[in-house]
Structure formats: structure tokens, C-alpha cells
């Protein structure tokens, strides 16, 4: 009896889990639907021929994206471990891949908090009915180069993430995802519909442009001047966006997969995540491109990252009082998107500490949040105290935030993706993931495609992304 009692005392605690399929899908979709969907997807769609980009993106989503996403979730559920320790459980010699998978979210989370702070700053500006200030030249630059304001808003955003992760899987991540994601979807649909009916007459030229014209540019493929080189650029852009958008190679989906109950249909859940993520991304384009086109023409759609923090505030300002309201709900929506993604990044590194060192959730969250907070502070100061310009291998010029973004997105993430394909495709074999996907007798309709993708196509595409990021091609 005494030995039995001792065994029960020393038995590992049951792993926290999502209550069911809906909780998992909303949390995973919340991770996937982030800032990249809201500003980067519309910008790339406008740059790469509208509907042409959409078609390429959708084809890659159901092949390339699906393969990597379902693989990581299967690894997590099969091992019941976080990214730092899961790969070693698949194959003892591959523990190093877990280290890479831990480093990626640890690099991304601090600067994501900084950008989340920027979103709160803009939301607060519109909440104070100061939307006209947001369109003044130098507003954005003046804010990020200030010393204390960016730090304050970064800390505020980080505290929101900390509270959610500290509360755990069911009472924290799942509970808040079930509230934030439906609200986010409603706001995106509302703004997208409104953008279609915007009409604006340029006082300088007398030309009237409408949101519907912008939507046509967005949805109708533009083959004008299309060359093989340009088409390959569209494919690379779509691959890069998909890779980032689905939270692939960040350790997140491995962590979330480990919280997935064994009786949940894994394949069906992955399909739902892809539909939700792709739907929001496409609606984001419909929300932004028609409005920006109506007020700025085609030139305004090439604003890149500035679409959110520079171009859109000008659209809101031109709409008068209603624009103030529209600006507020837009940045509320953007905050929700940033928050659900940042929470998943913090969870990936927190769960890794829990599994590696057997720490409690509270201790792991505090330590990881504090460590990331130090890096966030350095990122904030990178625009003033630690300011410098550095030309990166891909030709872009950036500061500390850009360097961290480049290292994670252009180098580490493709490397993690390639190594995951090698591990599952060639070392442990595709059956490792397939057995988990079909655990309860579910049919795996894309099994043949999956095997070809994980062994041959996906690693080649990831290698091309890596070479592009390094500026080699």
C-alpha cells in the first residue's frame, strides 16, 4: 500500500488539454491569424496581380501549408510534449531540432510584443478621438523613436499575454480564444463590407474611385506583363506568406497539438484551421485594398507595412466622425489578432520550460515573460538609444527588430521546416504522422499527396525560401 501511495504521488500530472475540437481550432486559428494576415497578405496580393496571388496561395495552402501544419500538430499530439522536447521523443538523435523550435518563438515573441504595443498606441489614439493626429506626418516615426512611450505600450501588451498564458490552457488560452476570435471575425466582415461601398472623388483630378473597383483589382487575376520570373516571384511571396501565416516552424503547433485530446479528429481540425486562417486573410485584403484604392489609387496599395500604420489612418481621417469609429474598431480587431498570436508564442516557450525542467506553469510563465521582456526593452531602444542601420543579406536595411525578424523568418524557420520534413519524411518515416492522423480510424484523403509533399516537394520549396531569404536567389 505504501509503495502504491508513493507511486501515485510521484506519477506525472495529467497534461492540460483543450476541452474539445472547437477550443483547439479557435486557439490554433488565433495563433495563425496574426498581424501578418492583416497587413502583409493584402500588400502582397496588391503587388502580385491580385487574383493571381490568391489562386497560387490557395493551391499552396491545400498542399504545402497543409502538409507542414498537420505534421507539427501530429508530432505534438503523438509525443504529448512541447517543441523543445517533442522531437527527441520521435527520434533520440534529433533533440537539436527541438532547440531550434524553441529559439524561434523566443526570438519572435519579444519584438511581436513591441509591435503589439504600437497597435495599442493607435487604438488608444482613436479611443481618445484623436484620429486626426494619427495621419500627421511623423506621427508613427515620432512615436517609435520616443524613449518611454513605446516601452509603456509594449509592457501593457506583454502583460495581457502574460495573464492569459499564466491562467493555463483551458482557463486562459482556450477561454480567451473563444471570445476574441468570433469578435475578430465579425469586425473583419463588417469593415470588409463597408469598404466595398466607399466612393471618393479626388479633388485634384476630379476622378471618382470606388471600393468595388479596388475589389476588382484584388480578385481578378492580372496577367499583364506576366513573365516566368514574375510568376516565380508570386509563388515565392505566396509560400513565404503561407509559411508565416500558419504559424509553421515556430514550435506553436507542436505545443498546441500536445494539448489536443486523442479522440479529436486531427485531419478535420487542421482543415478548419486552414479555412479560418485563409478566410480571415482574404477578408483582410477585402477590408484594406478597396478602401486604400478608393482614396489613394494603385499607388496607395504599394505602401507595404505602412498600409496599417500610415495609409489606413488617412482613409479613416477622410471619413470624418465615422472614420474615428471605424479606426477604433479596426485597431481593436488588430489588437485581438496580435494578442492571440503573441499568446501562442509565449505558450510555446513556457510549455517547453515546463516539460524540460518540470517547472510549474506559474514559474515557467514568469521566467519566460521576464526574459522576453528584457529583449523587448532592447528592441524598443533600437529606435533611439541603440539605433543603427544594418544592411541584411536580402538587401533590406533594418534595426534590432528587423534583424530579429530576419533571423527568425528568413533563416531559422525555413531550417526548422526542412529538418522537420527530413525527420518525418526520411528518418521516422511518414507513417509516424499518418498513424496519429488516423488514430481513431479516420480517413486520410490526402495521404498520397502528404507522403509526396513531406518527402520531396515541401523540403525543396523550403530550401528555395531559405535561399531567397539569404539573398542567394
Tell me which residue of 398, 472, 357, 425 sits closest to 68, measured CA to CA: 425
Tell me which residue of 142, 128, 31 sits closest to 83, measured CA to CA: 31
pLDDT of residue 303: 60
pLDDT of residue 319: 80
pLDDT of residue 213: 92
Rounded-to-integer distance, Cα 218 and Cα 89, Å: 45
Contacts of 307 (CB under 8 A, 6+ apart): 39, 42, 43, 288, 292, 301
Q: Let me know: does 427 contact 91? Beta carbons within 8 Å.
A: yes
Rounded-to-integer distance, Cα 32 and Cα 273, Å: 8
Reading the chain (473 residues) residue by residue, the pLDDT tens digits are 444 444 333 334 557 788 778 888 888 888 888 887 887 888 888 888 788 999 999 999 999 999 999 999 999 999 999 999 999 999 999 999 999 999 999 999 999 999 999 999 999 999 998 988 988 878 988 999 998 999 999 999 999 999 999 998 888 888 888 888 889 889 989 988 999 998 888 888 888 999 999 999 889 888 887 898 889 889 989 988 888 788 899 999 999 999 999 999 999 999 999 998 898 889 988 988 888 888 887 776 666 656 777 777 878 887 888 888 999 999 999 999 999 999 999 999 999 999 999 999 999 999 999 999 999 999 999 999 988 888 888 777 788 999 999 999 889 999 999 999 999 999 999 999 999 999 999 999 899 999 999 999 999 999 999 998 888 87
Q: What is the three-class DSSP state of 34? A: coil
pLDDT of residue 306: 64
Question: Cα 26–31–32 angle (5° rounding)?
Answer: 95
Question: In 249-391, which ranges are E strands?
Answer: 390-391
Q: Let me know: does 211 contact 196? Beta carbons within 8 Å.
A: yes
Q: Let me know: does 373 contact 156? Beta carbons within 8 Å.
A: no
Rounded-to-integer distance, Cα 388 and Cα 366, Å: 31
Amino acid at each position: 500500500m505504501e509503495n502504491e501511495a508513493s507511486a501515485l504521488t510521484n506519477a506525472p500530472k495529467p497534461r492540460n488539454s483543450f476541452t474539445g475540437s472547437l477550443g483547439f481550432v479557435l486557439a490554433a486559428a488565433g495563433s495563425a491569424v496574426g498581424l501578418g494576415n492583416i497587413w502583409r497578405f493584402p500588400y502582397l496580393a496588391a503587388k502580385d496581380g491580385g487574383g493571381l496571388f490568391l489562386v497560387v496561395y490557395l493551391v499552396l495552402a491545400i498542399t504545402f501549408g497543409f502538409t507542414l501544419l498537420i505534421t507539427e500538430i501530429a508530432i505534438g499530439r503523438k509525443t504529448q510534449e512541447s517543441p523543445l522536447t517533442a522531437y527527441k521523443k520521435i527520434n533520440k538523435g534529433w533533440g537539436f531540432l527541438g532547440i531550434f523550435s524553441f529559439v524561434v518563438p523566443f526570438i519572435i515573441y519579444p519584438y511581436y510584443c513591441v509591435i503589439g504595443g504600437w497597435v495599442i498606441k493607435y487604438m488608444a489614439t482613436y479611443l481618445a478621438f484623436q484620429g486626426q493626429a494619427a495621419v500627421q506626418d511623423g506621427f508613427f516615426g515620432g512615436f517609435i523613436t520616443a524613449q518611454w512611450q513605446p516601452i509603456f505600450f509594449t509592457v501593457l501588451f506583454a502583460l495581457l499575454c502574460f495573464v492569459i498564458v499564466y491562467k493555463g490552457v483551458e482557463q486562459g488560452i482556450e477561454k480567451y480564444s473563444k471570445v476574441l476570435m468570433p469578435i475578430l471575425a465579425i469586425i473583419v466582415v463588417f469593415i470588409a463590407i463597408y469598404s466595398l461601398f466607399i466612393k471618393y472623388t479626388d479633388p485634384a483630378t476630379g476622378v471618382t474611385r470606388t471600393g468595388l473597383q479596388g475589389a476588382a483589382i484584388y480578385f481578378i487575376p492580372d496577367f499583364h506583363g506576366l513573365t516566368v520570373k514574375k510568376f516565380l516571384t508570386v509563388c515565392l511571396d505566396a509560400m513565404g506568406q503561407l509559411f508565416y501565416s500558419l504559424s509553421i516552424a515556430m514550435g506553436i503547433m507542436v505545443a498546441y497539438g500536445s494539448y489536443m485530446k486523442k479522440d479529436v479528429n486531427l485531419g478535420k481540425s487542421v482543415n478548419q484551421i486552414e479555412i479560418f486562417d485563409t478566410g480571415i486573410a482574404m477578408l483582410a485584403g477585402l477590408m484594406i485594398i478597396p478602401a486604400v484604392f478608393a482614396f489613394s489609387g494603385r499607388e496607395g496599395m504599394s505602401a507595404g507595412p505602412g498600409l496599417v500604420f500610415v495609409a489606413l489612418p488617412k482613409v479613416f481621417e477622410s471619413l470624418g466622425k465615422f472614420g474615428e469609429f471605424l479606426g477604433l474598431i479596426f485597431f481593436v480587431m488588430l489588437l485581438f489578432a496580435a494578442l492571440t498570436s503573441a499568446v501562442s508564442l509565449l505558450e510555446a516557450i513556457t510549455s517547453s520550460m515546463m516539460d524540460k525542467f518540470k517547472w510549474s506553469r506559474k514559474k515557467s510563465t514568469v521566467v519566460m515573460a521576464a526574459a522576453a521582456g528584457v529583449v523587448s526593452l532592447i528592441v524598443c531602444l533600437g529606435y533611439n538609444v541603440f539605433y543603427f542601420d544594418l544592411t541584411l543579406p536580402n538587401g533590406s536595411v533594418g534595426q534590432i527588430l528587423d534583424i530579429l525578424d530576419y533571423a527568425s523568418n528568413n533563416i531559422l524557420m525555413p531550417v526548422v521546416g526542412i529538418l522537420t520534413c527530413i525527420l518525418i519524411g526520411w528518418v521516422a518515416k511518414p507513417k509516424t504522422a499518418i498513424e496519429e492522423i488516423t488514430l481513431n480510424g479516420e480517413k486520410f484523403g490526402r495521404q498520397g499527396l502528404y507522403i509526396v509533399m513531406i518527402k520531396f516537394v515541401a523540403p525543396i520549396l523550403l530550401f528555395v525560401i531559405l535561399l531567397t531569404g539569404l539573398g542567394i536567389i
